[in-house]
Chain A
């Protein structure tokens, strides 16, 4: 490529900086609005920065035990969800990538077909099923229904297909069992794909909203998005607190993303796109 002139370089740098700022602006704005005085949040004329920086809204919302509790419960649920999801889907991915067994073709089609069932089509009947199983208002109703995912299984399997057979052949000849090979060879190599799939599951759980509002009425189990939605309709006047709560609710996700960002962003390349 022709090297760019200094002016061209400056121009693309400035454009990128502006777009980046625009992408982050709504989040920065909500976080900053959380520092405004109650009367100032919706004051005219519009001001970006508060007249005085107050932590009141943040301390108020953090003083609301339902909020803190729903952050903690959602976080715990999301971690449990992601862990179970990785376990269940990775086992299946390994089996489909490496093992030969009766009805393999049928089971593959059975599992993969579930990928094309849109959530909305089964929302109500899923509700009836979990109701019949007595799962309403439990952690299980939030965690279990989404754990098995054909999409995630497929993604992990693509990764396993690219692990050279030579690695396990020696172990097989030495008489190691399939499960030993899975836990001893495949799992330790799975980190890059687990980061992507695991964060994906975590996000799906953390941001879910419709399912919790249908299945959870016990405030001790309120999920964070459910909390924010309820807060917005019940305490519509407390804008500052809503802003602070929204900003805080995004924080764990952003921190988690920043920790793993290099893996996630390079993972976009391996997502099977040509």
Chain B
């Protein structure tokens, strides 16, 4: 595969063709990403309104956001949510991938296809399904609790259970892809390592501890970071399932921002909030990108 030089430099530069083929992507990105981004940057310094003259207010919007308890709470909610979803999802899919790896090829093909299906389901449909599962009187969740003689729970209406209840569909949606990425990571570990370890008398646990986990480090790290950014940004599930309730217990940062967009007075605020969030999430994904890009360049 290619090493450094990716361009056929021995052939002359071809500016015209290059610009012609690049024009669509550059124009579209400029109109729909770059301009809105700089526009947002500007608006974040204004007391902005659809209906009247905007006023320059400096960093006041940022100040207001950072001192708004509701925003800080939403960030905390987003963190709690990610902490519920990501570790659970990673552990489950790691264990499951280890099991699937040993299946006969025919059956594992079927399993891989099936577990991937939830990944392609929309947040809206997932929410509709899980709202029914959590239904107080007729839902599956309380029906199963009933087997053990436990009183029914108002899953989405109780402060204690609302956020974990939304975490479950998030895990369901992400489990398939995570497992398949784990599985392909497991397949990349040479079988000879395990054989050698077995000759030395290593048990299942030792093999996992000293071979599998260290060699899976990059995959797990990647999934951890992408998982965290994705889950902190989650808002569709809480929008549809609880609309942020009860008592804004399930308002994630993006839902906070979305709710404020609807409120004209708060537009500058919420844009400032989204830019603050952008700095954090954007730098995280920039780091991932650097790591992936550099590895690609190194072993090419």
Contacts and interface: CB of A to CB of B under 8 A. Distances in A.
B21 A179 contact: yes
Contact of A102 (B15, B117, B219, B277): B15
B65 to A, nearest CB: 13
Contacts of B233: 118, 120
Given A124-B43, A182-B21, 13 more contacts: A26-B118, A26-B172, A27-B129, A100-B7, A102-B15, A115-B289, A121-B275, A122-B40, A123-B274, A207-B123, A250-B122, A268-B181, A274-B219
Given A209-B236, A225-B122, A95 B28 contact: no
Contacts of A168: 8
A44 B137 contact: yes
B102 A254 contact: no
Which DSSP category, helix, strand, loop or mixed, fits chain A's interface? helix
B176 A145 contact: no
Contacts of B281: 118
Contacts of B175: 23
A33 B129 CA distance: 10
Interface string B230-270: 00010110001000000000000010011001000001001
A42 B138 contact: yes
B210 interface: no
Closest 10 CB pairs of A and B: A207-B122, A148-B28, A46-B143, A101-B18, A122-B36, A125-B36, A121-B274, A125-B39, A92-B25, A42-B138
Interface of B: 1-2, 6-9, 11, 13-15, 17-19, 21-22, 24-26, 28-29, 31-37, 39-40, 43, 96, 99-100, 102-103, 107-108, 110-118, 120-126, 128-130, 132-133, 135, 137-140, 142-143, 146, 172, 175-177, 180-181, 184-185, 187-188, 191, 194-195, 198, 218-219, 222, 233, 235-236, 240, 254, 257-258, 261, 267, 270-271, 274-275, 277-278, 281-282, 285-286, 289, 292, 295-296, 299-300
Contact of B258 (A33, A89, A120, A125): A120
Given A99-B14, A121-B40, A254-B117, A162 B1 contact: yes
Contact of A15 (B99, B133, B185, B300): B99
Given A115-B285, A273-B184, A229 B25 contact: no
A249 B172 CA distance: 18
Contact of B8 (A169, A239, A243): A169
Nearest to B280: A118
A246 B129 contact: yes
Nearest to A266: B184
Contact of B132 (A148, A153, A206, A243): A243
Contacts of A43: 138
Interface string A173-211: 000011100100000000000000000000100110110
Interface residues of A, number: 103
Given A19-B96, A120-B258, A207-B124, A177 B39 contact: no
A179 B178 CA distance: 38
A92 B274 CA distance: 29
Nearest to A146: B32
A6 interface: no
B73 to A, nearest CB: 18
A120 to B, nearest CB: 5
Contacts of B176: 23
Contacts of A210: 236, 258
Interface of A: 1-2, 4, 9, 12-13, 15-17, 19-20, 23-24, 26-27, 29-30, 33, 41-46, 87-89, 91-92, 94-95, 97-102, 104, 107, 110-112, 114-118, 120-126, 128-129, 133, 144-148, 150, 153, 158, 161-162, 165, 168-169, 172, 177-179, 182, 203, 206-207, 209-210, 225, 228-229, 232, 239, 242-243, 246, 249-250, 253-254, 257-258, 261, 264-265, 268-269, 271-274
Contacts of A133: 31
B255 to A, nearest CB: 10
5 contacts: A16-B96, A19-B96, A26-B130, A269-B187, A272-B296
Contacts of B139: 46
Nearest to B141: A46
B125 A16 contact: no
Contacts of B299: 274
A114 B29 contact: yes
Given A23-B114, A118-B233, A121-B278, A144 B28 contact: yes
B26 A111 contact: yes
A263 B140 CA distance: 35
Contact of A179 (B17, B26, B102, B135): B17
B267 A273 contact: no
B59 to A, nearest CB: 17
A108 B235 CA distance: 31
B244 to A, nearest CB: 15
B26 A116 contact: no
